[in-house]
Protein backbone atom coordinates (compact mmCIF):
# COMPACT_ATOMS: atom_id res chain seq x y z
CA UNK A 1 0.00 0.00 0.00
CA UNK A 2 1.50 3.31 -1.03
CA UNK A 3 1.70 6.24 1.33
CA UNK A 4 -1.08 8.15 -0.45
CA UNK A 5 -3.38 5.09 -0.40
CA UNK A 6 -2.64 4.65 3.29
CA UNK A 7 -3.39 8.32 3.96
CA UNK A 8 -6.70 8.06 2.07
CA UNK A 9 -7.62 4.90 3.93
CA UNK A 10 -6.71 6.40 7.30
CA UNK A 11 -8.63 9.62 6.55
CA UNK A 12 -11.75 7.64 5.61
CA UNK A 13 -11.38 5.50 8.71
CA UNK A 14 -11.16 8.55 10.97
CA UNK A 15 -14.13 10.18 9.24
CA UNK A 16 -16.27 7.09 9.67
CA UNK A 17 -15.20 6.70 13.28
CA UNK A 18 -16.16 10.29 14.04
CA UNK A 19 -19.47 9.83 12.26
CA UNK A 20 -20.25 6.63 14.17
CA UNK A 21 -19.34 8.21 17.47
CA UNK A 22 -21.56 11.23 16.77
CA UNK A 23 -24.58 9.32 15.54
CA UNK A 24 -24.06 6.10 17.51
CA UNK A 25 -24.76 4.07 14.41
CA UNK A 26 -22.76 2.75 11.52
CA UNK A 27 -23.29 4.67 8.32
CA UNK A 28 -20.65 3.56 5.85
CA UNK A 29 -19.98 5.09 2.50
CA UNK A 30 -21.36 2.48 0.06
CA UNK A 31 -18.04 2.33 -1.79
CA UNK A 32 -15.98 2.05 1.40
CA UNK A 33 -16.48 -1.70 1.93
CA UNK A 34 -15.68 -2.60 -1.66
CA UNK A 35 -12.59 -0.36 -1.64
CA UNK A 36 -11.33 -1.99 1.56
CA UNK A 37 -11.92 -5.48 0.13
CA UNK A 38 -10.17 -4.48 -3.08
CA UNK A 39 -7.14 -3.14 -1.17
CA UNK A 40 -6.95 -6.19 1.06
CA UNK A 41 -7.11 -8.59 -1.90
CA UNK A 42 -4.53 -6.52 -3.78
CA UNK A 43 -2.18 -6.54 -0.76
CA UNK A 44 -2.68 -10.28 -0.32
CA UNK A 45 -1.92 -10.86 -3.98
CA UNK A 46 1.20 -8.69 -3.85
CA UNK A 47 2.57 -10.40 -0.73
CA UNK A 48 1.86 -13.97 -1.90
CA UNK A 49 5.18 -15.17 -3.17
CA UNK A 50 7.10 -18.41 -2.97
CA UNK A 51 8.40 -18.95 0.54
CA UNK A 52 12.17 -18.63 0.79
CA UNK A 53 12.58 -22.26 1.83
CA UNK A 54 10.94 -23.42 -1.41
CA UNK A 55 13.07 -21.38 -3.78
CA UNK A 56 15.20 -23.50 -6.07
CA UNK A 57 18.94 -23.47 -5.63
CA UNK A 58 21.40 -24.43 -8.32
CA UNK A 59 22.17 -28.13 -7.60
CA UNK A 60 25.93 -27.66 -8.11
CA UNK A 61 25.97 -24.63 -5.84
CA UNK A 62 23.86 -26.44 -3.25
CA UNK A 63 26.20 -29.45 -3.22
CA UNK A 64 29.29 -27.23 -2.85
CA UNK A 65 27.69 -25.09 -0.15
CA UNK A 66 26.54 -28.20 1.73
CA UNK A 67 30.11 -29.54 1.73
CA UNK A 68 31.27 -26.19 3.12
CA UNK A 69 28.51 -26.33 5.74
CA UNK A 70 29.67 -29.79 6.87
CA UNK A 71 33.25 -28.56 7.06
CA UNK A 72 32.06 -25.53 9.05
CA UNK A 73 30.33 -27.81 11.55
CA UNK A 74 33.56 -29.69 12.27
CA UNK A 75 35.42 -26.42 12.83
CA UNK A 76 35.04 -23.94 15.64
CA UNK A 77 33.95 -20.71 13.93
CA UNK A 78 30.47 -21.02 15.47
CA UNK A 79 32.07 -20.53 18.91
CA UNK A 80 32.75 -16.88 18.14
CA UNK A 81 30.41 -14.63 20.13
CA UNK A 82 28.16 -12.76 17.72
CA UNK A 83 28.61 -15.25 14.87
CA UNK A 84 25.63 -14.55 12.65
CA UNK A 85 23.99 -15.48 9.40
CA UNK A 86 26.13 -12.98 7.52
CA UNK A 87 29.32 -14.69 8.72
CA UNK A 88 27.94 -18.09 7.75
CA UNK A 89 27.05 -16.76 4.30
CA UNK A 90 30.66 -15.61 3.88
CA UNK A 91 31.93 -19.06 4.93
CA UNK A 92 29.58 -20.70 2.42
CA UNK A 93 30.40 -18.18 -0.32
CA UNK A 94 26.83 -17.01 -0.79
CA UNK A 95 24.33 -14.44 0.42
CA UNK A 96 22.31 -14.55 3.64
CA UNK A 97 19.09 -15.66 1.90
CA UNK A 98 20.70 -18.73 0.35
CA UNK A 99 22.59 -19.52 3.56
CA UNK A 100 19.31 -19.42 5.47
CA UNK A 101 17.56 -21.62 2.89
CA UNK A 102 20.42 -24.12 2.97
CA UNK A 103 20.35 -24.44 6.76
CA UNK A 104 16.57 -24.74 6.87
CA UNK A 105 16.45 -27.29 4.07
CA UNK A 106 19.34 -29.52 5.18
CA UNK A 107 19.31 -29.09 8.97
CA UNK A 108 15.53 -28.72 9.37
CA UNK A 109 15.81 -25.69 11.64
CA UNK A 110 16.27 -21.97 11.45
CA UNK A 111 19.71 -20.38 11.69
CA UNK A 112 19.44 -19.34 15.35
CA UNK A 113 18.39 -22.83 16.48
CA UNK A 114 21.10 -24.34 14.28
CA UNK A 115 23.93 -22.26 15.80
CA UNK A 116 22.54 -22.69 19.31
CA UNK A 117 22.48 -26.47 18.89
CA UNK A 118 26.01 -26.54 17.45
CA UNK A 119 27.26 -24.60 20.47
CA UNK A 120 25.41 -26.75 22.99
CA UNK A 121 26.49 -30.00 21.36
CA UNK A 122 30.09 -28.77 21.35
CA UNK A 123 30.11 -27.81 25.04
CA UNK A 124 28.33 -30.95 26.25
CA UNK A 125 30.80 -33.10 24.33
CA UNK A 126 33.68 -31.17 25.92
CA UNK A 127 32.11 -31.58 29.37
CA UNK A 128 31.85 -35.34 28.87
CA UNK A 129 35.32 -35.77 27.35
CA UNK A 130 37.42 -33.43 29.49
CA UNK A 131 36.97 -33.21 33.25
CA UNK A 132 38.32 -29.65 33.39
CA UNK A 133 35.17 -28.44 31.59
CA UNK A 134 33.04 -29.97 34.32
CA UNK A 135 34.78 -27.63 36.76
CA UNK A 136 33.91 -24.51 34.74
CA UNK A 137 31.29 -22.04 35.90
CA UNK A 138 28.24 -21.41 33.73
CA UNK A 139 29.82 -18.13 32.71
CA UNK A 140 33.00 -19.86 31.53
CA UNK A 141 31.01 -22.54 29.71
CA UNK A 142 28.91 -19.88 27.97
CA UNK A 143 32.02 -18.01 26.91
CA UNK A 144 33.74 -21.18 25.72
CA UNK A 145 30.95 -22.17 23.36
CA UNK A 146 30.09 -18.70 22.04
CA UNK A 147 27.11 -17.46 24.02
CA UNK A 148 27.17 -13.74 24.69
CA UNK A 149 25.69 -14.01 28.17
CA UNK A 150 25.38 -16.65 30.85
CA UNK A 151 21.62 -16.31 31.17
CA UNK A 152 20.98 -17.13 27.50
CA UNK A 153 23.37 -20.10 27.72
CA UNK A 154 21.65 -21.57 30.78
CA UNK A 155 18.21 -20.98 29.25
CA UNK A 156 19.20 -22.64 25.95
CA UNK A 157 20.84 -25.54 27.80
CA UNK A 158 17.71 -26.15 29.88
CA UNK A 159 15.51 -25.84 26.80
CA UNK A 160 17.48 -28.46 24.88
CA UNK A 161 18.43 -30.93 27.61
CA UNK A 162 15.63 -30.29 30.15
CA UNK A 163 18.29 -29.94 32.84
CA UNK A 164 20.61 -27.16 34.03
CA UNK A 165 24.34 -27.30 33.20
CA UNK A 166 25.20 -27.75 36.88
CA UNK A 167 22.82 -30.68 37.28
CA UNK A 168 24.13 -32.17 34.03
CA UNK A 169 27.67 -32.13 35.44
CA UNK A 170 26.48 -33.52 38.77
CA UNK A 171 24.62 -36.41 37.13
CA UNK A 172 27.49 -37.08 34.75
CA UNK A 173 29.93 -37.24 37.68
CA UNK A 174 27.55 -39.50 39.64
CA UNK A 175 27.22 -41.85 36.66
CA UNK A 176 31.00 -41.90 36.31
CA UNK A 177 31.45 -42.79 39.99
CA UNK A 178 28.79 -45.50 39.89
CA UNK A 179 30.36 -46.91 36.71
CA UNK A 180 33.80 -47.03 38.38
CA UNK A 181 32.29 -48.69 41.46
CA UNK A 182 30.56 -51.38 39.38
CA UNK A 183 33.79 -51.96 37.42
CA UNK A 184 35.69 -52.37 40.72
CA UNK A 185 33.11 -54.91 41.99
CA UNK A 186 33.59 -57.01 38.87
CA UNK A 187 37.35 -57.26 39.46
127-136: pLDDT as tens digits: 999 999 999 9
Q: Which residue has the higher pLDDT, 124 or 28?
A: 124
Tell me if 123 sits within 8 A of 141, measured CB to CB.
yes
Q: For each of the domains in the chain, give its residue range(s) and CATH number, in order of start.
A: 3-48 (no CATH), 50-108 (no CATH), 110-187 (1.10.10.60)
Question: What's the CA gap between 13 and 148, in Å, rounded?
Answer: 46
Neighbours of 101 (CB within 10 A): 21
Please give the model's pTM, rounded to 2 decimal places: 0.65
Q: What pLDDT is stored for residue 45 in this prediction? A: 43
Residues 6 or more apart whose CB falls under 8 angstroms from that of 164 comprise 154, 157, 158
Nearest CA-CA partner of 102 in 129, 72, 74: 72
- Residues 72-119 have pLDDT tens digits of 999 999 999 999 999 999 999 999 999 999 999 999 999 999 999 999
CA dist 152 and 164 (Å) reads: 12
C-alpha–C-alpha distance, residues 170 and 187, integer Å: 26
Burial of 165: CB neighbours in 10 Å, binned 0-12, 13-18, 19+: buried
Mean pLDDT of the chain: 80
Amino acid sequence: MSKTDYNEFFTEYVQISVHVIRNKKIALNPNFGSRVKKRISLETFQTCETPKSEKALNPNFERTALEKLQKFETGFAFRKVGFGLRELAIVLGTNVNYASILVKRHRSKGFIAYIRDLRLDYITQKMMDESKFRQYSNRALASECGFGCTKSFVHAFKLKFKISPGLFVEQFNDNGRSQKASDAECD
